[in-house]
């Protein structure tokens, strides 16, 4: 409630009454602002397929599993592992008790040795696996967190992204201690714990990589009961669909046997369109806005931690509900836009607001390390966005003072970045996914 109150306070500072600020917190306000075009289809299935192909051609982390090779050269796999490895400069280890300890060269060397680079064969056969629970894709084969040395900001620099159950993975190599596997997922690479995956043959794996029938998760989070165990799915997740009854769907849920092999279980989930949808949603402005709003008020989750989203995960999850497979990180998403209007630094704030206000609602606004969904403009013509926000600035006696809302919130572009500039001045481009 504190974060929502903070948001309403920000909105009331921009508008004469709190009533309008409150109305903007409702998705219906933005549906009305979108008008009759809000429910018009922006692209059909074939056009979306072509956009996805273009993304994969230009983004080196995004792949088409139906065309993925059955083996890779050892040099390529080694380069993948090295590219994923972050620098340890200025970072510390975060213990389970919250204590921060300085990373020593011995600590770093021990973790780097776990990558097993010396044992990568000349030719690496691809193995096939599926996640059986919500897993963490890591940049090194460890669950230990690396954080800023000061310990003030707790972003885990080894956390790549969360990976939901039923996600197909191409397994390339094991860590030296055999506890982790280096994998390729549909739009990212990194290490996952072996405890979180089940191995299978390519044919079965393709039922997850390219299912003929599937449910897409449309809620911000969905819980599925698998034999008394609750599995968490985030928006945009795709689950193979077996059958459809009046009140339930029958889905195929992956589990692992004692040897780590895939065992599929037939599970019933409620026929609730607020949680699941058979097949992709239609790609419309209003669907992008509606799906974005489902995250409003959720906690900020760096790399998908805390069962939530950061700014680029929110955008990727929302767009995946309509079948658009964006890259995972905001910098790569910016380059993947089919149409992009750059905002050079020379533009004034008024000029920038004019460009942004003319963009289609549902477009994406990019700034360094951050992306937001453009909801549209208010009756006064001010652009408003929805975003997962870790930090923003406020003017104080000593200059810009940082605040940490750590929430998915709705805001104007008058918020300040850590450099004292408004979000409006920090935006580098406006991107839209249209044919």
User: Per residue in 125-159, pLDDT tens?
Assistant: 999 999 999 999 999 999 999 998 665 556 899 99
Q: What is the pLDDT of residue 293?
A: 98
Choice between 272 and 14, residue whose per-residue pLDDT is larger: 272
Mean pLDDT confidence for 312-336: 98
Q: What is the pLDDT of residue 297?
A: 95
Q: What is the pLDDT of residue 397?
A: 54
Q: What is the pLDDT of residue 13?
A: 40
User: Per residue in 18-58, pLDDT tens?
Assistant: 556 658 999 999 999 999 999 999 999 999 999 999 999 99
Whether residue 14 has pLDDT greater than 70: no
Q: What is the pLDDT of residue 102?
A: 86
Considering only CA atoms, which of 197, 207, 211 is closest in space to residue 165?
Answer: 197
User: Per residue in 280-302, pLDDT tens?
Assistant: 999 999 999 999 999 999 999 99
Instruction: Answer whether 55's CB lies under 8 Å from 326's CB.
Output: yes
User: Per residue in 216-227, pLDDT tens?
Assistant: 999 999 999 999
User: Per residue in 331-361, pLDDT tens?
Assistant: 999 999 999 999 999 999 999 999 999 999 9
Whether residue 6 has pLDDT greater than 70: no
With both helix axes pointing from N to C terminus, report the angle between 285-293 and 27-34 in degrees, rounded to the nearest 10.
170
Whether residue 426 has pLDDT greater than 70: yes
Task: Give the distance between the most distant pair of CA atoms in the chain.
Answer: 68
Secondary structure of the chain in the HEC alphabet? CHHHHHHHHHHHHHCCCHHHHHHCCCHHHHHHHHHHHHHCEEECHHHHHHHHHHHHHHCCCCCCHHHCCCEEEHHHHHHHHHHHCCCCCCEEEECCCCCEEECCHHHHHHHHHCCCHHHCCCEEECEEEEECCCEEEECCCCCCEEEECCCCCCCCCCEEEEECCCCEEEEEEECCCCCEEEEEECCEEEEEEHHHEEEECHHHHHHHHCCCCEEEECCCEEEEEECCEEEEEECCCEEEEEEECCCEEEEEEEEECCCCEEEEEEEEEECCCCCEEECCCCEEHHHHHHHHHCCCCCEECHHHHHHCECHHHHHHHHHHCCCCCCCCCHHHHHHHCCEEEECCCCCCHHHHHHHHHCCCCCCEEEECCEEEEEEEECCCCCEEEEEEECCEEEEECCEEEEECCCEEEEECCCCECCCCCEHHHHCCEEEECCC
Percent of the residues in the chain that have a pLDDT greater than 90, as a whole number:
83
Residue 247 phi, psi dihedral angles, 5° rounding = -110, -5
Residue 309: how many other CB atoms lie within 10 Å = 29
Instruction: Answer whether 305's CB lies under 8 Å from 234's CB.
Output: no
State the chain's mean pLDDT as an integer: 92
What is the distance between the alpha carbons of residues 43 and 360, in angstroms, rounded to a whole number? 14
Q: What is the pLDDT of residue 95?
A: 78
Mean pLDDT confidence for 80-94: 93
Mean pLDDT confidence for 239-262: 95
What is the distance between the alpha carbons of residues 400 and 420, in angstroms, rounded to a whole number? 6
Q: What is the pLDDT of residue 101?
A: 85
């Amino acid at each position: 409630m504190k974060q929502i109150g903070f948001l309403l306070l920000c909105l009331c500072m921009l508008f004469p009454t709190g009533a309008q600020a409150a109305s903007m917190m409702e998705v219906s306000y933005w549906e009305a602002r979108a008008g009759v075009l809000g429910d018009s289809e922006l692209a059909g299935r074939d056009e979306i397929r072509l956009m996805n192909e273009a993304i994969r051609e230009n983004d080196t982390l995004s792949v088409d599993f139906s065309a993925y090779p059955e083996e890779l050269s050892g040099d390529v796999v080694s380069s993948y592992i090295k590219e994923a490895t972050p620098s340890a400069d200025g970072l510390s280890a975060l213990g389970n008790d919250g204590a921060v300890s300085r990373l020593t060269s011995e600590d770093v060397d021990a973790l780097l040795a776990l990558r097993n680079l010396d044992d990568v064969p000349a030719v690496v056969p691809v193995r096939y696996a599926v996640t059986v629970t919500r897993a963490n894709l890591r940049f090194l084969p460890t669950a230990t967190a690396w954080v800023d040395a000061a310990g003030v900001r707790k972003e885990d620099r080894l956390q790549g992204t969360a990976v939901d159950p039923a996600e197909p993975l191409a397994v390339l190599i094991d860590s030296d201690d055999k506890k982790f596997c280096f994998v390729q997922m549909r739009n990212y690479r990194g290490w996952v714990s072996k405890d979180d995956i089940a191995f299978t043959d390519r044919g079965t794996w393709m039922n997850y990589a390219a299912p003929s029938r599937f449910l897409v998760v449309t809620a911000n989070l969905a819980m599925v009961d698998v034999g008394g165990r609750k599995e968490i799915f985030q928006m945009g997740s795709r689950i193979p669909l077996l059958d459809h009854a009046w009140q339930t769907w029958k889905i195929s849920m992956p589990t692992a046997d004692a040897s780590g092999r895939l065992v599929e279980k037939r599970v019933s989930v409620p026929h609730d369109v607020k949680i699941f949808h058979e097949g992709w949603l239609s790609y419309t402005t209003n669907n992008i806005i509606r799906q974005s709003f489902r995250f409003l008020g959720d906690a900020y989750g760096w790399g998908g931690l805390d069962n939530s989203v950061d700014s680029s995960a929110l955008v990727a999850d929302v767009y995946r509900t309509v079948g658009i497979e964006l890259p995972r990180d905001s910098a790569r998403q910016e380059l993947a836009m089919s149409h992009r209007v750059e905002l050079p630094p020379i533009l004034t704030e008024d000029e920038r607001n004019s460009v942004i206000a003319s963009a289609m609602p549902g477009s994406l606004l990019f700034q360094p390390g951050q992306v937001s969904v453009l909801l549209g403009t208010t009756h006064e013509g001010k652009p408003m966005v929805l975003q997962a926000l870790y930090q923003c600035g406020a003017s104080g006696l000593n200059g810009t003072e940082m605040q940490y809302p750590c929430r998915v919130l709705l805001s104007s572009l008058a918020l300040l970045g850590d450099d004292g500039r408004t979000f409006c001045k920090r935006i580098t481009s406006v991107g839209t996914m249209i044919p």
